[in-house]
Amino acid sequence: MNAGYRLAAMLLMAPLALSASPPGPLQLERPFEFQLVLNGTQSWKSGVQATEATTRQTYTVNTRLRSNGFLYSDNLLDTDNAARMEIKPMYYARQGLERLRASNGGKLPTTPDDANTIFERYRQKGNHCRDNLECNQQAAEQIAAVNAMQDNSREDLEAFLNSHGSGPEARFLYFFGYAGCPVKLSIQYALEITGTRAYDKKKEKPLPFRLIRTADSPGNEDDQKTLCEKYVATVDVKTGTIFVENLFIPAPPGISKRTINTSTETVDEKIGLPPPFEALNWTSAKMRQTTESGEEKVSLPLTAALDGDNSVQGTFTGKLDISFRWSFKPPAGKAVPAKP
């Protein structure tokens, strides 16, 4: 941790201070649900080539996030990027230091070398992260903790971990996805593009063209795993405002049937059919700071290719109607106890 994140600076800014609640609050869970319905039309023209496209897509997602129940004084997903870049490393340091203390009989190790020894024991047990999100986050926390020990005395760090915030500053709950969470995912996807496209070098000889893409999918195994581990959210308990990091919308596996002139090719799209670029951007921006539940409808211009092929030259025009409904509220207004 560099000098900008030394403990003195942490305390002056009161970062991530815990509320004055009893030690070890119960874990909380909240369901995170949204439904996104898209209806789009698009025209494309490039010289003698021209196509018309229509699409209807519905994404219904239900998952669950978990909080440790502490109220923090800083928003881990602060909309100010500069503040966020300071808050996140300090949160990682706190989490890593707490884990170190728990693994060392309730006290922090004496030196950074002692801390590295404890972490090395984890690695020797085969804790290789690869694509495991929780493991990778713990690795970041370990690095932040060792850096904090290099820049601060053990006594100061112990005092920091034992400190509790109070007053109006302690207001944010942090929620994270977790492995094995309950997930429900349903995606319906229909796209049709018809017209003419030219495949000669000069693009002067247009041929009849048709692309049909369909999917009716509960998502694949990777989607299920990602939905459990992908989301991070914070809740301002005083205002009911929620902040969601990078809303994840799965691309469903489906079928593409492409006809050029009289030749048809069918492709099993295992990687997934892409949601419209405009929908991804708009929903992520919407959830960056919003209410605990809501519904919104909006129409956006469609300037990116609906089939995801932006390599073609020409002009895209069209409209995407979006209906978006979301909820991140405790059931019946109460916190949901986490499973042990």
Mean pLDDT in consecutive groups of 10 residues from the start of the chain, 340 residues: 38 33 63 97 96 98 91 90 86 84 83 77 59 68 82 84 63 89 94 96 94 92 80 93 91 95 95 92 96 97 91 92 96 54
5 vs 254: CA distance, rounded Å: 48
Closest C-alpha among 250, 303, 294, 69 to residue 170: 69
296 vs 37: CA distance, rounded Å: 11
Q: Give just the sign of the alpha carbon dihedral 229, 231, 232, 236.
A: negative
Q: Six-digit token pair at 305?
A: 């290719």
Supply the pLDDT for residue 132.
Answer: 63
224 vs 63: CA distance, rounded Å: 9
Question: Residues 234, 237, 242, 245: what is their CA dihedral angle, to the nearest 10 degrees?
Answer: -10
Supply the pLDDT for residue 216.
Answer: 96
Supply the pLDDT for residue 128.
Answer: 59
Supply the pLDDT for residue 225.
Answer: 78
Is-contact 212 307, C-beta < 8 A? no
Supply the pLDDT for residue 18.
Answer: 34
Supply the pLDDT for residue 146.
Answer: 81
Is-contact 37 12, C-beta < 8 A? no
How far, CA to CA in Å, does 162 sit from each of 97, 103, 270? 11, 16, 50
Supply the pLDDT for residue 127.
Answer: 54
